[in-house]
Every structure is written in C-alpha cells, then in structure tokens.
Amino acid sequence: MPLVRAELRWPSAAGARLEGATATGCVAYGKHLLTRFDDGRTLHTHLRMEGYWRVHRTGSREAAARNPAVRAVLGTAAWTCLGWHLGMLDLLRTRDEPRVLGHLGPDVLADDFPDAGLAEGVRRLAAQGPRPVCEALLDQRVVAGLGTIWMAETLFALRLWPWTPASGLDDDARAAVLLTGRRLMGRSVAVGRSRGLGAVETAVHGRARRPCPRCRTPIAVGQANEPPYERPVFWCPSCQARP
C-alpha cells in the first residue's frame, strides 16, 4: 500500500518526498532500523535510548502526530507509523546502506550469525585485549545488538566478572558469551511478541540491592566506560566474583 503521508521532521531530510512509495520491508541491524521502499530508497533510523515507533489507524487522534517529539510520520490510507524521539534519521539509496552500517560488527541476532558472524565476532572480541568484557560487548563495532541490559544478563548467566579482560577469555569462552547473548535476546523477542512489551523479567539488570535469584546476595551496580559514555553494569558479587 503506497504512502499517502510522509513527514521526515529532521533537518537533513525535511524536504524529502516519499508519498507514493511503498514500503517493502523493515529490518534491524543491531540497534539500527532500515525501512526499505520500492523506489530504491531506505529510511535509516536509530532509537538510541529513548526512541520508539508506534502504529495507529490513519485518521485517528493519535495519528495526527502533533507532538514535537515525533520525528517521522509514514502513513498509508489504513495505518500511520510514528517515530518518536528518534536519535538518528537518514534517507539514502538502498545500495548505500553500507555507508551507515559499515563500521558495525556482526549482528548477533542475524539469522546467519552462528555460521557467518560468530567467528568474526570472536575475532573482534579478542582484539579488544585488556579492555573489560562488559565494555567490549557494548561497543557496536565489536558486535552489533547487545546493549546494557543483555550485556549484564549474559555475563550473569555465564557467571563472569564484568571487568574480566577480553584477552582473559579463550575463543571458546568468547563464543559462549556471544551465543548466550544471542539466545537471551532471542528469547526476549519471543516473550515480548507473545505477552507484550515489558513482559521480560531480568535476573540482575535494574535490580540493585535486590537479592540475586541464584544465591540471594544483593545485586551490585558498577560502571562501564568513562564519562560521558558511562553505562551501568548490574552484577552479583558472589556469582560473578572477581577471579
């Protein structure tokens, strides 16, 4: 169904016209979303920490999109998609997608990750040397897709001290980290689809001072990266003790 309304409320794309184009699909690569159209263009967006998309019936009060926090409006005769608080927005030729994605590591949720991306992810993780594994996993240039939540949940599942040097793990352990992250994220997607947003419960993330679900030790919170790029790291001081 072709677009009858298209507003890109972004300085570099404000004059673009998408009316008449039909979306052929929307795919994710890590934290990046690629909405592809049949005219050979792609809308690239990134949610950062606050962004989200919502779908409303065209003509409804919600679809009016009068709020200044709405950065993109894509509407057909039946449905209207609103991009709220988007952190990035580019309109580019579909063949130029590598220009915005080329710096990223392999996507841990890609269908072919175990066969085509795992070895490269292990290599990039090993190349981080003494860098703490919690920081390396947050670096989208190492692998794309893992964020603060699933970094913490992955390391807890494997009983790894978050500040273990990446070089302190062997290749089997690095592969286990990446595959565990993939498994946990995949499970959260499945649960979210069946039960709705916010349905996935975490073991450690966001549970500071609450008892560890394994040993009842209070969950601690530390820090990955230096300001202004710091991120919280939730962990169990007992299950994930420093070696």
Rounded to whole angstroms, how far apart are CA atoms 213 and 232? 19
Separation of alpha carbons 65 and 180, rounded Å: 39
Residue 200: predicted pLDDT: 66
pLDDT at residue number 14: 86
pLDDT of residue 120: 97
Each residue of 74-125: pLDDT tens digit? Answer: 999 999 999 999 999 999 999 999 999 989 999 999 999 999 999 999 999 9
**In sequence order, what are the residues at sequence separation of 6 or more whose Cβ sits closer than 8 angstroms to the Cβ of residue 164?**
132, 133, 243
Pick 201 or 11 by higher pLDDT.
Answer: 11
Check residue 201 and give its pLDDT: 82
SS3 letters for 176-219?
HHHHHHHHHHHHHHHHHHHHCCCCCCCCCCCCCCCECCCCCCEC
Mean pLDDT, rounded, for 139-160? 95
The model's pTM is 0.83
Virtual CA dihedral for 184, 113, 37, 98, nearest 10 degrees?
A: 120
pLDDT tens string 42-82: 999 998 878 999 999 999 999 999 999 999 999 999 999 99
Is pLDDT of 228 > 90? no
Per-residue 3-state assignment (H helix, E strand, C coil) for the chain: CCCCEEEECCCCCCCCCCCCCCEEEEEEECCEEEEEECCCEEEEEECCCCCEEEEEECCCCHHHCCCCCEEEEEECCCEEEEEECCCEEEEEEHHHCHHHHCCCCCECCCCCHHHHHHHHHHHHHHCCCCCEHHHHHHCCCCCECCCHHHHHHHHHHCCCCCCCEHHHCCHHHHHHHHHHHHHHHHHHHHHHHHHCCCCCCCCCCCCCCCECCCCCCECEEEEECCCCCCEEEEECCCCCCCC
| Predicted confidence (pLDDT) at residue 196 exceeds the cutoff of 70 | no
Half-sphere exposure of 92 (CA within 13 A, CB side): 15
**CA terminus-to-terminus distance, the chain:** 57
Task: Using the predicted structure, report yes or no on whether residue 15 has a pLDDT greater than 90.
Answer: no
Across 48-52, 115-119, 130-134, 220-224, least confident range: 48-52
Q: What's the whole-number mean pLDDT along residues 127-148?
A: 95
